Amino acid sequence: MPVTESPPVAIQALGLRKSFRVKDQAVEAVSGLDLTVAAGQIFGFLGPNGAGKTTTLRILTTLLPADAGQAFVAGADVMRNPQQVRRRIGYVGQLGGADGSATGLENLLLQARLYGMTAAAAASRAEELIELFDLRAFAGRIVRSYSGGQRRRLEVALGILHRPQVLFLDEPTTGLDPQNRANLWNQVRHLRDGGTTVFLTTHYLDEADQLSDRLAIIDRGRVIAEGTPAQLKQRYSGDTISITPSGPPDSLESLERELAGIPLVRSTRIEDGSIRLAVTDATRSMAAVFAALAGSGIAVRAAALAQPSLDDVFLHETGRSLRDAGGPTGGPATERPAGEQVAA
C-alpha cells in the first residue's frame, strides 16, 4: 500500500492561553486553543465578535505574548524566534497599515526598502503588485482618497510584498460592498494558488463558507468545530426545512411556537422572513409540518429542504445562532430548541 505523506504544516498552536484584566477581573480571551493549518490553503477562522479570533491572530503574528502554550508559524517558534516569524509572514490588520498621506506607489516602494530591497528591486516588485492587484488607475493618488475596496487591495499588496510564506488577514472585507468583497476574494484565491498560505479571520458566514479550504469555528476562546465547510455542515447539521408563510411577518413567532411542538423538529429559528427547522427525518418531517399548517389554516408561500449552513453548525455546538452571537453575519435571526417558549 502506498504511503500518503501529510502536507507540510504552516501554523501550529498548542494549548494557547491569553487573559486580560477587565475591571480587576481576569477575562480569558483564548482558552487552551489547539490549531493546525496545512501549507498552501486558505484557512478560515470563523466566530462572533469577541470570540478570540483577533487575539489568537495577534499571538501567532508575534504582536501579543501568550500566557501559556506554544505556537509555530512557517517553521519558526513564535515565542523563541519572533524575528524569524516576522520575516516569513505578512499581516493585514483590521485598520490596515497604509500611509494615507502618501500615494499607493510610494507606500509600496517604502515597504520594499524597509525589507532591504534595492531601489531597482523595489521598483520592480511594486510594478508587479500594481499589475497583480489592478492598482494602476489609482497608484499615483494619495491613499486617503481611495475607496474602501481600493485601499484594501493596496493593503493586501503591502502584506505580500516580501513574498511571505503565510499571510494573515484580520477581517479583510469588513465594510466593503459586495463587488469589492468578491474582488478581494478572487485576489486571496490567486495568492493561495500561487502557494501562499492564507489565515483569514472573519465573522461573515458566506465568506468562511465560500473562501475557506478548511476552517475552524471559535467561540469564547476555544475551537468548537474544525474541518472543511462541507464536512462541518454534513457532520453537524442533518436535515433542515425552510418554511415561508404567506401571512404577515408578525405572525412568525406564533407559527414558530406551533412548529416547534412537532416531535420530529429538533430546533427552530426565524431567519429573513422564514422559519428554519432542524429535523431528524426530512421526508416524515415535511409531511408532519404540512399537516400542522393545514390544520391551522396557514397558507405557505414557499417551502423547501434547505442546505445546512455554518450557522447550523454553530447552533448545534453552542445552542445559539452565530448571527446573534455578535457581528453582522448576514442578517437578524432568532433561534431556540424545539418546545422552548417565547415570551409574548
How many other CB atoms sit within 10 Å of the CB of residue 130?
A: 20
Q: pLDDT at position 166, please?
A: 97
Parallel/antiparallel/unpaired status of strands 222-227 and 42-46: unpaired
Would you state the cell numbers that stand for residue 9, as one nine-digit string? 504544516
Whole-number pLDDT of residue 339: 35
**Which residues are CB-neighbours of 126 under 8 A, at least 6 positions away?**
105, 108, 109, 112, 161
* Grid cell at residue 207: 465568506
Please report, for the chain, how many H helices and E strands are present, in that order.
12, 15
Three-class SS state of 22: strand
Give me the residue spans of the domains in the chain. Answer: 9-99+164-227, 234-337
3-state helix, strand, coil in the chain (%, to 5): 35, 30, 35
Q: pLDDT 10s digit of each residue in the chain, 344 long?
A: 555 566 799 999 999 999 998 888 888 999 999 999 999 999 999 988 889 999 999 999 999 999 999 999 999 999 999 999 999 999 999 888 899 999 999 999 999 999 999 999 999 999 999 998 999 999 999 999 999 999 999 999 999 999 999 999 999 988 888 888 898 999 999 999 999 999 999 988 899 999 999 999 999 999 999 999 988 887 765 678 888 888 766 678 888 888 888 888 888 888 878 888 888 777 788 888 888 888 888 888 888 877 778 887 887 777 777 766 654 444 333 333 343 332 22
- CATH fold label, 9-99+164-227: Rossmann fold (3.40.50)
Is the full-model pTM beyond 0.85? no
Reduced to 3 states (helix: H, G, I; strand: E, B; else coil), residue 200 is: strand
Cell readout for 18 is 491569553
pLDDT value of residue 124: 97
Note whether 277 and 265 are within 8 A (CB).
yes
For cell 447539521, name the residue. 237
What is the reported pLDDT for 223? 94
Q: What is the pLDDT of residue 332?
A: 32
Give the per-residue pLDDT at 333: 35
CATH of domain 234-337: 3.30.70.980
9-99+164-227 against 234-337: fold identical: no
Rounded distance between C-alpha atoms, residue 40 and residue 197, angstroms: 4
